[in-house]
Amino acid sequence: MTTQPISTAQQVDVLILGGGPSGMAAGIALLKRNDIKVLMLERGDYTEYKFGESLSTNARATLEYLDVWKQFEASQSMQKFCSQVAWGSEDLRQLGYMFNPNGKGWVLDRSRFEKMLARAFVERGGQLQLQTQVTTCTRQPAGGWCVEVKSALGQTHTVFCKYIIDASGRRGVMRTNLNLALTVHDRLIGVGCIGVLAQGDAHSFESQVEACEYGWWHVTPMSDGRVSVVLMSDPDIANQMQVCRAEVWRALLDQMPVLGQQMKEVFFTETPRSTPCYSSYLQEAGGLDWVAVGDAVASFDPIASTGIPTALSNGIHAAFIAVDSMFSKGQLLKTYAQSIEQDFKQYLQTQWQYYQRETRWPEAKFWARRRAVVGIAKTATIVSTHYYEQKLVKAPVHLKLHEMQDLWLCCELGKSLKEVLERFALRYRYIPEQKAILGVQELIETGFLEISTEEEEDCVFFNTERLIFD
């Protein structure tokens, strides 16, 4: 695979920020036309090892549309994906694709997959610049963007483009540049290592998921006798337990009833590294001359197994939106934004249902955060607040300590819950309303607050979705 350098000042039609699955899908789809000049900027160089993943067989239609199915078959093992799941009990159950009893998937070599997409993009006329990142992004008065780019060697370049597709992942280049609020629904991280089997046959393993009091473990076979092992938890729990220390991480793995026995023959030589895995949603999915795709617009808990298929689909949609913006009336963006919103609503419901299945640790903070139900009407009124000389000292479950203290201060006598939430949202735009209400419930349960109770039918519950997107 060869890449083309960016000249000091370059003019292109579409600039894609990020060379992952969503960015590549957008670029390859755009190059189905011969009248669009596409440049892609990628911070890495596709040499970094990535944790093992899987890909639903439903993705075949998407890969065929991109004309990369044959390359995919040639570059992947095509081993069928099945899950052994210990969730809700210590007993293993074999399912199809994660928690889907009917679906199927393939074990995916992520690095090989991304290289395959990048090669197809370049071969079809796309320009790819590796090890580069955006430093500034300025909208031009006459339309389009002026983007300053910095290479790994510290050289700076200028790119002028008509349209930007932001596929930069959770860091969200356009969101950051435009100061848009990202709603973050949890703080999930993955702390993992890639290990090597003593007998050198990782494919003797099936993908496995095992829940524990502080989160859940995920094991995925990889190529070349390697296996990916990741602990999913929250950062405050992980920090308290010091799970990024190799000896602690390994000891916790060894203590697992199922995986502890199966991982005895796996050797880890690296230090566990942390990866963000939180669920988030960008309500402003794009604008007149830009659109966000993949994790830049919506990111998902790995338990849903929707990341790569959604990213590929987003990328193709973004290509149509870019063409529509440059050559037509630009009406597709609204439909795309509505689709992203609806899909994320459905995802939150599915995620909540998955976590409801695990009931062994009802008091554990990790599970309490994901199993809680909202049961307060937004018309309820603050009737009493209990002030103490000392500040809140107990670590709250759903909010950080300073967030909970500020929420407490917003709870003025006579104010309705709706007014409290509106005031709190002025400062914490990234916190979803549902989580703020759970914080109010926690203040009530711990004796800091009293509210008037409305009739039960006026209460709103998390699984009605009414609190997520008002």
Instruction: Characterize the bridge pairing of strands 280-281 and 183-184.
Output: antiparallel
Give me the CATH code for the 9-79+104-184+278-356 domain, please: 3.50.50.60
Q: Which tens digit of pLDDT belongs to each residue from 435-453?
A: 999 999 999 988 888 998 6
What is the predicted pLDDT for the residue at 304? 79
Asked if 277 and 181 count as a contact pair (C-beta separation under 8 A), the reply is no
276-320 confidence digits (pLDDT tens): 999 999 999 999 899 999 999 999 998 877 778 889 999 999 999
Q: Which residues contact 95 (CB under 8 A, 6 or more apart)?
A: 82, 83, 85, 101
CA distance 1 to 28: 15
189-276: CATH, from 3.40.710.10, 3.40.50.11900, 3.40.50.300, 3.30.9.10:
3.30.9.10
Where in 180-253 does DSSP place strands (E)? Answer: 183-184, 189-197, 207-212, 215-221, 226-233
Model confidence at 467: pLDDT above 50:
no
Closest CA to 376 of 450, 446, 448, 432: 450
* pLDDT score of 406: 93
Is residue 460 very low, low, confident or very high in pLDDT (cuts 50, 70, 90)?
Answer: very low
Distance CA 377, CA 361 (A): 28
Choose from 327-331, 364-368, 401-405 the range with maximum mean pLDDT: 364-368
Q: Sign of torsion, CA 184 188 194 200?
A: negative
For CA atoms 225, 104, 83, 296, give the dihedral sign: positive
| Token pair in block for residue 460 | 């709103």
Mean pLDDT across 236-259: 96
pLDDT of residue 101: 44
- Is residue 249 helix, strand or coil? helix
| pLDDT, position 463 | 36
Task: Tell me what the mean pLDDT of segment 426-435 comes to.
Answer: 93
Write the single-letter amino acid at 341: E
Higher pLDDT, 410 or 458: 410
The amino acid occupying position 409 is: L
**pLDDT tens for each residue of 86-134:** 999 988 887 655 554 445 667 788 888 999 999 999 999 999 999 999 9
Average pLDDT, stretch 326-347?
Answer: 93
- What percent of the chain lies above the pLDDT cut of 90? 63
In this prediction, residue 391 carries a pLDDT of: 56
State the maximum Cα–Cα separation within the chain, in Å, rounded to a whole number.
Answer: 70
Q: Which of 40-54, 89-103, 266-280 has the lowest mean pLDDT?
A: 89-103
What's the helix, strand, coil split of the chain in %, to 5?
35, 25, 40
Q: pLDDT confidence of 388, banded at 50, 70, 90?
A: low
Confidence check: pLDDT of 332 > 70:
yes
Q: What whole-number distance in Å separates Cα of residue 441 and Cα of residue 25?
A: 43
Which of residues 344 and 104 earns the better pLDDT score? 344
Taken in order 32, 36, 41, 47, is the CA torsion positive or negative?
Answer: positive
pLDDT at 465: 34
Question: CB neighbours (10 Å) of residue 128?
Answer: 24
Answer with the residue of higher pLDDT: 84 or 287. 287
Q: How many residues does the chain have?
A: 470
Residue 432 has pLDDT above 90, yes or no: yes
Asked if the model's pLDDT at residue 455 lies above 70, the reply is no
Q: What mean pLDDT do residues 2-31 have?
A: 86
pTM exceeding the 0.85 threshold for the entire prediction:
yes
Q: In whole angstroms, give the CA distance from residue 223 to residue 107.
A: 9
Using CA atoms, how far residue 344 sits from 287, 339, 352, in Å, is: 19, 8, 12
Q: Of 335, 317, 12, which Cα lies nearest the Cα of 157?
A: 12
Which DSSP category does 188 fall into?
-
Q: How far is CA 230 from CA 166, 208, 357, 466, in A?
A: 28, 11, 21, 34
Mean predicted confidence (pLDDT) in 69-97: 79
Better-scored residue on pLDDT, 148 or 309: 148
Average pLDDT of every residue of the chain: 87
Least confident piece of the model among 221-235, 377-391, 434-448 = 377-391
pLDDT band at 468 (very low <50, low <70, confident <90, very high): very low
Following CA atoms 262, 267, 271, 277 in sequence, which dihedral angle do they give, to the nearest 10 degrees?
Answer: -40
Most confident of 109-113, 272-276, 461-465: 272-276
Q: Residue 454: which pLDDT band, with cuts at 50, 70 and 90?
A: low
Res 95: pLDDT: 66
Q: What confidence category does residue 365 fall into, taking pLDDT thresholds of 50, 70 and 90?
A: very high
Predicted pLDDT of residue 153: 87
pLDDT band at 56 (very low <50, low <70, confident <90, very high): confident
Pairwise pLDDT comparison (307 vs 263), residue with the higher score:
263
* More confident: 51 or 218: 218
Q: State residue 375's pLDDT score.
A: 85
